[in-house]
Chains A and B, each alone.
Chain A
């Protein structure tokens, strides 16, 4: 299989420039692939897929019957990012997270940014993820957004832009780590020859973060990962991270609040828990504080948290900062708290809550992507150019009824990268979700999860909507 017939077309391609020449950073890999014997590549793809199946790197497809477990589709051709491009992205991401953390802290304390009318008060108060229970709360070390996944896209000019902030329970990091493990077996020689930045230290950095937040200054605090359980679509990831860190994976029913602290129930009695990396949404965390019908949480947890006797990662209430309407204010937020221009631009976005913007959106639904502000995973979305008149009508009604709940963006032609399709290469659209840890300092994992829209022409990369993934190689700078 060779790249001979590959046509990058009229989009920015991650492998080739507009004249069809390989980008300098992709050249070596392209040469290696072109020199493989026939079937060399498709055999490697098959081996990689069966390795994923056996490792059990699968996700549950809710609608299908038991046993129809699928591997998250994986394409063995990596996506490559050169060092200079990445360094800018890294700086931009650190800046963004640093500012967002200050924003959340401000919102739950003095609300200066609202008083100064940079962000309108109404949109905070009408935000579903705003938790009044968190007002005045001081999380350990003043950090709210410990673990984030910021979705980036590359536009036609090769410019990286922020598409979405995910600050609640962003998932996908286990696929990044798993994909890398598989690709090292798939292309060992290419790894030797190319200066690829390693990512394997992610889990030990995560563990450092959890220890750093422990309320008591003890050398080895006890930290746990709280999962909703085996039927959660990201369950594999929860268990993978627990295993990599050597920490307990617990469900709500394993924890109890006893004498003012959180404990887990073990075969040797109760053991105190210091830090909880929770993968359970805010509203299910504690039936006494939030939804009383939640069976996934721990009754009384919030009281212990407020008293500073347990750390929660990420902090409850942080969802205020990844609301898609708040997203439109992030460049102003960065400027307000840091006095700097945003290094990574936003995608231009229309606020339906704004009368002028709304008028434009309603008149141009067929040219826009409309998104519900509180949803993720590709749900609650209208892709204007592929929609029917009926779908557009239904969205127009929803926007008119609840303008606060919708934003719209022009259809951005995401960059493309080659994917193996039936023994040849075809271009498919990709995005990138880097993972950022905020502990003692802010750490950005080099690369992240490259998601691919596997359907020809599709711009939706979410796994729930037929997306797959690729390994992401960030190269060291040439003078490294």
Chain B
């Protein structure tokens, strides 16, 4: 496969996953707000949403107040924000456009339809007056894309690059949502056990589509268990270790090897990061400091992306030969 095509497959998939995550964050926040309307001294409920994506600075450069309207605008339609839903969908679509001959037409049509839907919505004043159904449909359309990909694309090298883009982005977003919410929620000792506390932790899980799966596993919500579930659960498809395990498999499919030996830089870096998760307990993570741990995880993950660039997306021709 052409290096350029591999890169476009990866980024197309990554940007769609990012758009889906943002739509979900906003959707969950909107429904949680309905429960919090009476007791709202937990700080500004929209604040975490700009921290999760790491965009605080660019938000404040442009918007004065952190409120629902501004945060939604910033995250949804703002084309100056490279991480807004519309920017992500536009980037996903541009990448898809350069590889239309590689992906099944169904995938292209789905991306195109989703982009046009959000683009049209951005031109209408009334979209954000009733935002719930809008964000839900973005979420569902992204899921539909994953389903279409799975069901129409041959599970070859190209498919593995799509998987990598999605899984690495997903691992990153799960780590960020845990980091931000955990940090905000934990110090409020006075709330522990209160209704509000339960609602907030449940919302955190919902933000990672994890509430129902979590309940089956642990039933009671405690901060420690939430962290364990989102970082170390082998079965839950958005936990960090699950994403990395699957991504690791895709890397080996790309080199057509069994996984016993390491062949290149991406395999080495991702393998190491996954092994760290494999051999760590939640107790150790909390002792080290959850925030520090997650921060380190995110930088390690970035070096995996760098390795993909060096090895697959923009390799030095002579080395390849």
**Residue in A66, A230, A240, A270 whose beta carbon sits within 8 Å of that of B320 in the complex:** A270
From residue A295, how far is it (CB to closest CB) to chain B in Å? 14
Across the interface, name the chain A residue whose C-beta is closest to B4: A254
**A177 interfacial contact with B, CB 8 Å:** no
Across the interface, name the chain B residue whose C-beta is closest to A236: B100
**B1 interfacial contact with A, CB 8 Å:** yes
Contact A267-B321, Cβ < 8 Å, known A55-B109, A56-B109, A254-B2: no
CB-CB under 8 A from A236, the residues of chain B are 100
From residue B321, how far is it (CB to closest CB) to chain A in Å? 6
**A243 interfacial contact with B, CB 8 Å:** yes
Check B101 against A249 for contact (C-beta < 8 Å): yes
Check A254 against B97 for contact (C-beta < 8 Å): no
Check B2 against A265 for contact (C-beta < 8 Å): yes
**4 additional contacts, CB 8 Å, given A67-B90, A249-B101, A251-B4?**
A235-B97, A254-B3, A254-B4, A265-B315
CB-CB under 8 A from B3, the residues of chain A are 254, 265-267
Which secondary structure dominates chain A's binding surface? mixed
B-contact bits for A256-286, CB 8 A (1 contact / 0 none): 1010000011111110000000000000000
Please list 6 pairs of residues, one from A and one from B, whose beta carbons are closer than 8 Å in the complex, sorted by A's number: A239-B100, A247-B101, A258-B321, A265-B2, A267-B254, A268-B1
**A479 interfacial contact with B, CB 8 Å:** no
CB-CB under 8 A from A66, the residues of chain B are 90
Contact A269-B113, Cβ < 8 Å, known A230-B97, A243-B101, A248-B2: no
Bound CA–CA A54/B3 (angstroms): 28
Bound CA–CA A269/B98 (angstroms): 21
Across the interface, name the chain B residue whose C-beta is closest to A271: B2
Interface magnitude class on chain B: 20 to 34
Check A267 against B6 for contact (C-beta < 8 Å): yes
**A121 interfacial contact with B, CB 8 Å:** no
**Residue in A247, A248, A249, A270 whose beta carbon sits within 8 Å of that of B317 in the complex:** A270
**A453 interfacial contact with B, CB 8 Å:** no
Across the interface, name the chain A residue whose C-beta is closest to B110: A54
**Residue in B1, B94, B315 whose beta carbon sits within 8 Å of that of A230 in the complex:** B94
**A455 interfacial contact with B, CB 8 Å:** no
**A253 interfacial contact with B, CB 8 Å:** yes
From residue B3, how far is it (CB to closest CB) to chain A in Å? 5
CB-CB under 8 A from A249, the residues of chain B are 99, 101-102
Across the interface, name the chain A residue whose C-beta is closest to B315: A265
A-contact bits for B74-104, CB 8 A (1 contact / 0 none): 0000000000000000100010011111100
Check A267 against B98 for contact (C-beta < 8 Å): no
Check A54 against B109 for contact (C-beta < 8 Å): yes
Bound CA–CA A251/B8 (angstroms): 13
From residue A232, how far is it (CB to closest CB) to chain B in Å? 11
Contact A242-B101, Cβ < 8 Å, known A56-B108, A251-B4: yes
Interface residues of B (CB under 8 A from A): 1-6, 90, 94, 97-102, 105, 108-109, 112-113, 116, 119, 157, 254, 312, 315, 317, 320-321
Interface magnitude class on chain A: 20 to 34
Interchain pairs with CB closer than 8 A, number: 69
Check B2 against A264 for contact (C-beta < 8 Å): yes
Check A67 against B100 for contact (C-beta < 8 Å): no
CB-CB under 8 A from A55, the residues of chain B are 105, 109
From residue B278, how far is it (CB to closest CB) to chain A in Å? 27
**A53 interfacial contact with B, CB 8 Å:** yes
CB-CB under 8 A from B312, the residues of chain A are 267
**Residue in A258, A266, A270 whose beta carbon sits within 8 Å of that of B1 in the complex:** A266
Bound CA–CA A54/B4 (angstroms): 25
From residue B48, how far is it (CB to closest CB) to chain A in Å? 31
From residue B313, how far is it (CB to closest CB) to chain A in Å? 9
From residue B73, how far is it (CB to closest CB) to chain A in Å? 17
Check A54 against B113 for contact (C-beta < 8 Å): yes
Bound CA–CA A227/B309 (angstroms): 23
**A474 interfacial contact with B, CB 8 Å:** no
**A48 interfacial contact with B, CB 8 Å:** no
**A250 interfacial contact with B, CB 8 Å:** yes
From residue A208, how far is it (CB to closest CB) to chain B in Å? 19
Bound CA–CA A66/B1 (angstroms): 29
From residue A69, how far is it (CB to closest CB) to chain B in Å? 9
Check B109 against A270 for contact (C-beta < 8 Å): no
Across the interface, name the chain B residue whose C-beta is closest to A265: B3
Bound CA–CA A66/B90 (angstroms): 10
From residue A372, how far is it (CB to closest CB) to chain B in Å? 32
Across the interface, name the chain B residue whose C-beta is closest to A238: B101
**Residue in B90, B97, B99, B157 whose beta carbon sits within 8 Å of that of A267 in the complex:** B157
From residue A473, how far is it (CB to closest CB) to chain B in Å? 25
From residue B7, how far is it (CB to closest CB) to chain A in Å? 10
CB-CB under 8 A from A266, the residues of chain B are 1-3
CB-CB under 8 A from A239, the residues of chain B are 97, 100-101
CB-CB under 8 A from B4, the residues of chain A are 251, 253-254, 265
Bound CA–CA A265/B4 (angstroms): 8
Bound CA–CA A265/B317 (angstroms): 7
Contact A243-B315, Cβ < 8 Å, known A55-B105, A258-B321: no
| Residues of A164-196 contacting chain B, CB below 8 A | none
Across the interface, name the chain A residue whose C-beta is closest to B97: A230
B-contact bits for A345-374, CB 8 A (1 contact / 0 none): 000000000000000000000000000000
CB-CB under 8 A from A269, the residues of chain B are 320-321
Bound CA–CA A423/B109 (angstroms): 29
Across the interface, name the chain B residue whose C-beta is closest to A241: B101
Bound CA–CA A108/B254 (angstroms): 47
CB-CB under 8 A from B102, the residues of chain A are 243, 249
From residue A428, how far is it (CB to closest CB) to chain B in Å? 28
